[in-house]
Amino acid sequence: MTLDTDQISGYLTGKTVLVTGGGGSIGSELCRQIMRYRPRQLLIFDIYENCAYELEMELRNKYGADINVVTLIGSIRDIKRLDEVFETYHPSVVFHAAAHKHVPLMEVSPCEGVKNNVFGTYNVAVAADKFKVPKMVILSTDKAVNPTNVMGATKRLTEIII
């Protein structure tokens, strides 16, 4: 299978792109790939400032200090913060990568997995709908197929929400 780079380019080039969980392992790689397609603005949204900041510095080092990358600190659990971000920046595309992903940790703290993965995803989806975002992509996992653990079940619920 080959990627249709023209289609991807049309999807991202010149657009304001928001990546939730943008500083995380999956979100940061998404941001790196998105920058190849020259978005008008890249919004890195994460609750953890260190990784998000380091990613912004990495992107500025690679693409130039004047690139339009904005790192926004906030939680997908915070509806008011999400509304502020969507209202201020008007993203055209949202990649929702923010999630708790470690199976053993979610088995020990299942309520945190539900609050973040399920309710947080719901909050992002509602904000995207409220602010008329044309495209939203959710990142899921093979663990959502016939889930056998808390994390997989929360990710399956996020697929149903979307």
Residues 6+ apart with CB under 8 A from 109: none
Q: Is the Cβ–Cβ distance between 39 and 16 less than 8 Å?
A: yes
Q: Of 15, 101, 115, 143, which one is the catalytic site residue?
A: 143
Taking the C-alpha atoms of residue 107 and residue 2, their distance in angstroms, rounded to an integer, is: 37
Task: Report helix, strand or coil for 94.
Answer: strand
Query: 143 catalytic, yes or no?
Result: yes
Alpha carbons within 13 A on the beta-carbon side of 17 = 30
Instruction: Look at residues 11, 33, 19 and name the one whose alpha carbon lies nearest to residue 99.
Output: 19
By annotation, the residues acting in catalysis are 143
